[in-house]
A = this chain, B = another copy of it.
Amino acid sequence: MAVASSGRAEPRVRLSRDRVLRTAIELADAAGIDALTMRKLGDELGVEAMSLYNHVSNKDDLQNGMIDFVFSEIDLPPQPADWRSAMRVRAISLREALARHPWATGLMDSGAAPGHSTLGHHDWVIGALRAGGLSIALTAHAFSVLDSYIYGFAMQENALPFETPDQSAEMAQMMLAQFPANEFPHLAELMREHVLAPGYNYGEEFEVGLELILDGLERARWSE
């Protein structure tokens, strides 16, 4: 019996929701979210697209499942030491997960009900803040400002039209050259003296902003 002719087809392994989601994530990571179609995903699994509908109810369900899977990858220490380092560890883990799966932020504005892992993640965060002695109101503030910052940073990082420092220098040069001198003088200055400086790496901004926010929360906690 000949092996299936389709290029990526894998041998007949039982399909499952878990396998569908994992493969969808691999495909989106490797080829971008636009390349994630039901047909290509079926191909990758050695199956017709229509078979996927036995394991996800439709493409929205697939995408929500993928988001929840990202949260399930983030493991959080069972007993956070103090609330501040718990928040730091968690923020860094979440940002890493969102960088590993750059399509995730783009799928998150769907208004779908959060999945089980996502809720578990949120519960852990809220629990760590409450255990650290923050009031409910301050916990809500902390949750909002931290998540907004983390998601927004990940989004901006994905939006950058470059990835390596070399590319960033090239890009900055291009942007500066493209416009009449001094049309954007302050932007040009920032590029010239900061972005184009040797060793510049936007990713390092993450922890700067994170500590600023954690300082602010700590101060708010004192004055409660």
Contact = CB atoms under 8 A, between A and B. Distances in A.
Interface of A: 102, 105-106, 108-114, 119-120, 122-124, 126-127, 130, 136-137, 139-141, 143-145, 147-153, 155-156, 158-161, 171, 174-175, 179, 184-187, 189-190, 193-194, 202, 205, 208-209, 212-213, 215-217, 219-220
A148 B184 contact: no
A145 B212 contact: yes
Per DSSP, chain A at the interface is helix
A155 B158 contact: no
Given A113-B175, A212-B216, 19 more contacts: A106-B109, A108-B155, A109-B159, A114-B161, A119-B179, A119-B187, A123-B184, A144-B205, A145-B212, A147-B152, A147-B156, A148-B155, A150-B152, A151-B151, A151-B156, A152-B153, A152-B155, A215-B216, A215-B219
